[in-house]
Chain A
Amino acid sequence: MRKFSHIYVEKEVLDSPLTQNIIKKFTKSKVVIIDRYNEVFNRPNQNYVVQKDHQNLIIAKKRYDFIYRGSKLCENFGNINFYHTSNILNCIYDCDYCYLQGMYPSGHLVIFVNIEDYFKEVDKLTQDKKVYLSISYETDLLALEYLTDFVRMWVDYATKNKNVTIEIRTKSSNFSAVYSLKVLDNVIFAWTLLPQPVIDKYERFTPSLEDRIKSIKKAISKGLKIRISIEPVMYIDDFENIYKNFVKEFFLKIPVEGIKDVNIGAFRMVKEQAKKIEKLKEHSPIFCYDTVLKGGVFTYKDAEYFERFVYNEVIKYIEKEKVYILNYLPQN
């Protein structure tokens, strides 16, 4: 983990135990007291890419807009009340395809420490309905568990609220950080996996496929049924062989009984975000293959083929019913 040279802390949360805990871990960082996190996060004229390379940390209080309705571009697994929320903005990893680059004005990491306020909002939202809530879309929460303990707190919360199902999506190899937690029906751990050559080409700082698999094994050994997310399926030369071997190897190592379901989705992004990212990172490999704009969405020209190919490989090993696919609807 790279250290943050500067930690910007909102005055109002300076004394929060969580803030103090985080600050204690970075004794060499300069602590700068601010009034509101947007004094840093929303400054005009920031350079996301440079900031990502020299990432600093902002500790703040979330005041409004705690929970959002799920985007159409995300798989909702058949859940109608699909929402997402974020205690953390931005991520310590740096994937070329990450849509956050086109969404946020800053590459610095924001941690909102007032997690109890999030729980209160979820209480309200789930008063009269069941809700599916993804808590790790705008970051990798598990990767930051050693700093924040947020996953543990969310799982504790889920024991008390059966109307919420929580999905924790991750690329981290850090499952041991939450190994001692209870296994709950309404908490789903989801690992995003791609072939190692794709990780090498498109992801910076993420754990290797092998390390993620070790983490998954640990989770399954605890009795968890985990979700596998093969997305975004990214193109690479020798695509077919690479993805075929990846799927095969994965199912050799992971018992099918431990897998709740698998979802597959080709790379896709809202047009405006893609434009912004291309401007920021014109050398990024994502723009170097055949892409198209379909109804305001930027994706591969052969997105459906890529998805279908991976789908056909996956169903060699696991029942069709457990496999979700984004664009292509499998016919029986």
Chain B
Amino acid sequence: MVFIATALYIEAKPIIEYYDLKKDVENRYFQVFKNEEITLIVTGIGKINSSIAVSHAATKYSCDFDDYIINIGICGSKDSNDKLGSIYLINKIIDNETKKNYIPDVLINHFFEESDIETFNYVVNDATLMSAKLCDMEASGFYQAASKYFETHRIYLLKIVSDNVSLSAVSKETVYNLIKNTIEEISKFIEIVKTSFKKTEIFSPQEKDIIDFLSQTLKLTASQRQIFYKACLHYKVRKGENITFLKDFYDISVNNKEERKRAFAQILAHLR
């Protein structure tokens, strides 16, 4: 699952349209839009809103160990040469209020320019106040909350320049178009993220079936299942051979605890 957080509905709209996300009508607290692969939450403006919404999304939609979260939104730039619509992957966040730095773990090969960003509690109209190149109102809150639930390399921030500093001057239509114009790139980026850290599975699907089947047939307890799984794993790593020979035990039947114990010991002996 990829979680996406945007501050405004108008930032989310092009993403909702592109991925054909459906509104979760049961959510009373936030606007959430989903399909099977993406959960998008509209957080509201500001770092506190962003962190509350990220926590809500991560817990309510049960984020998993291998999920990702991306903050997508507009930002200001103090670089007057920066073109509107330039898109950046953030590699450092400065919280203007606390002066703390937050450093996302950028471990993927990607095609975006990178930049730092400073999160303010207010709309910045004066570029001299900024110590980073970009400014926004959510990044530090987003990152702090996200890093409670997601590993550092599973958190990303993509920021699109909407103005040379003053955010307030941007119309809704401009914001919509800025995101819409970059949506192809964003979706390519999401694909990279999704495929970058794929874990190699040690067991084939067939082997997994065997472990499940035998655990059920033998009515193994939770801790016995754990022992069985480890024994299979160790066998495979040690010998470099698969465990399909365990199919020979498929017709084993156990009627009581004693029989189960014996059968289990017999199987384990083959894995030693």
Q: Which residues of A contact B (CB under 8 A)?
A: 5-6, 8, 30, 32-35, 39-40, 43-47, 50-51, 53-54, 56, 237, 282-285, 287-289
Contact (A50, B153) CB under 8 Å given A45-B148, A288-B234:
yes
Minimum CB–CB distance from A278 to chain B (whole Å) comes to: 10
- B window 115-139: CB within 8 A of A: 116
Instruction: Mark interface residues in B26-70 (1 if CB within 8 Å of A CB, else 0).
Output: 000000000000000000000000000000000000000000000
Residue of B nearest to A39 (CB): B101
Further 11 A-B residue pairs, CB within 8 A, beyond A45-B151, A46-B151, A54-B153: A30-B91, A32-B92, A32-B103, A34-B92, A34-B103, A39-B102, A44-B148, A45-B147, A47-B151, A283-B202, A287-B234
11 contacts between A and B (CB under 8 A): A5-B106, A6-B91, A30-B91, A39-B103, A43-B103, A43-B105, A45-B151, A46-B152, A51-B107, A282-B233, A283-B237
Contact (A30, B152) CB under 8 Å given A8-B103, A43-B147:
no
Task: Please report the C-alpha to C-alpha distance between residue A287 and residue B147 in the assembled complex, in whole angstroms.
Answer: 30
Task: Please report the C-alpha to C-alpha distance between residue A34 and residue B234 in the assembled complex, in whole angstroms.
Answer: 42
- A-B pairs with beta carbons under 8 A, tally: 67
Flag if B107 contacts A50 (CB, 8 Å). Answer: yes
Contact (A285, B91) CB under 8 Å given A46-B152, A50-B153:
no
Contact (A289, B151) CB under 8 Å given A43-B103, A54-B107:
no
Residue of B nearest to A35 (CB): B101
Task: Please report the C-alpha to C-alpha distance between residue A54 and residue B238 in the assembled complex, in whole angstroms.
Answer: 27
- A284 contact set on B, CB distance < 8 A: 237
Q: Does B24 contact A (CB under 8 A)?
A: no
Closest 9 pairs (CB-CB, A-B): A54-B107, A288-B234, A288-B238, A288-B237, A47-B151, A39-B101, A46-B152, A40-B103, A45-B151
- B window 80-117: CB within 8 A of A: 91-92, 101-103, 105-109, 114, 116
Q: Does B18 contact A (CB under 8 A)?
A: no
Q: Does B9 contact A (CB under 8 A)?
A: no
Contact (A34, B101) CB under 8 Å given A44-B147, A288-B238:
yes
Task: Please report the C-alpha to C-alpha distance between residue A5 and residue B102 in the assembled complex, in whole angstroms.
Answer: 18
Query: Quick one: which of B106, B107, B147, B235 has the most chain A CB within 10 A?
Result: B107
Interface size bracket, B side = 20 to 34
Query: Quick one: which of A51, A56, A288, A289 has the most chain B CB within 10 A?
Result: A288
- B264 contact set on A, CB distance < 8 A: none
Q: Does B19 contact A (CB under 8 A)?
A: no
Q: Does B250 contact A (CB under 8 A)?
A: no
Task: Please report the C-alpha to C-alpha distance between residue A232 and residue B265 in the assembled complex, in whole angstroms.
Answer: 32
- A53 contact set on B, CB distance < 8 A: 107
Flag if A51 contacts B153 (CB, 8 Å). Answer: yes
Contact (A283, B233) CB under 8 Å given A46-B152, A50-B197:
yes
Q: Does B150 contact A (CB under 8 A)?
A: yes
- A288 contact set on B, CB distance < 8 A: 233-235, 237-238
- B window 138-177: CB within 8 A of A: 147-148, 150-153
Task: Please report the C-alpha to C-alpha distance between residue A46 and residue B147 in the assembled complex, in whole angstroms.
Answer: 9
Flag if B147 contacts A5 (CB, 8 Å). Answer: no
Instruction: Mark interface residues in B191-221 (1 if CB within 8 Å of A CB, else 0).
Output: 0000001000010000000000000000000
Task: Please report the C-alpha to C-alpha distance between residue A39 and residue B197 in the assembled complex, in whole angstroms.
Answer: 23
Residue of B nearest to A108 (CB): B105
- A47 contact set on B, CB distance < 8 A: 151-153
- A44 contact set on B, CB distance < 8 A: 147-148
Query: Quick one: which of B103, B105, B150, B234 has the most chain A CB within 10 A?
Result: B105
- B235 contact set on A, CB distance < 8 A: 288
- B147 contact set on A, CB distance < 8 A: 43-45
Task: Please report the C-alpha to C-alpha distance between residue A51 and residue B116 in the assembled complex, in whole angstroms.
Answer: 21
Minimum CB–CB distance from B87 to chain A (whole Å) comes to: 16
- B108 contact set on A, CB distance < 8 A: 54
- B151 contact set on A, CB distance < 8 A: 45-47, 50
Minimum CB–CB distance from A260 to chain B (whole Å) comes to: 36
Q: B238 contacts which of A5, A33, A40, A285 (Cβ < 8 Å)?
A: A285
- B window 231-247: CB within 8 A of A: 233-235, 237-238
